[in-house]
Amino acid sequence: MPTCEYGCERCGHEFTTVLTVREHDKARPKCPRCKSRRAQQAVSAVFVNTSRKG
Ligand SMILES: [Zn+2]
């Protein structure tokens, strides 16, 4: 099952979502915690969490 890991820039919440390629291409996932769309895909070690936690 295709899953993508994301990290929310706003609240720092990390979550995994299941997306089809088409969905992933056209829409960013919402953070389930703060409903922000400022979620960045966590790509291996490139993802740097610079947001404040809490
Ligand atoms: Zn969030």
- Note the pLDDT of residue 46: 47
The model's pLDDT over 10-44, given as tens digits with 9 standing for 90+, comes to 999 999 887 666 655 566 788 999 999 998 888 65
Confidence class for position 54, pLDDT limits 50, 70, 90: low
CA of 54 to the centre of ligand 1 (A): 10
Q: Assign 23 to helix, strand or coil.
A: helix
CB 37 within 8 A of CB 30: yes
CA of 53 to the centre of ligand 1 (A): 10
CA of 19 to the centre of ligand 1 (A): 18
- Note the pLDDT of residue 18: 79
- Note the pLDDT of residue 53: 63
pTM across the whole model: 0.61
Overall size of the chain counted in residues? 54
Q: Assign 40 to helix, strand or coil.
A: strand
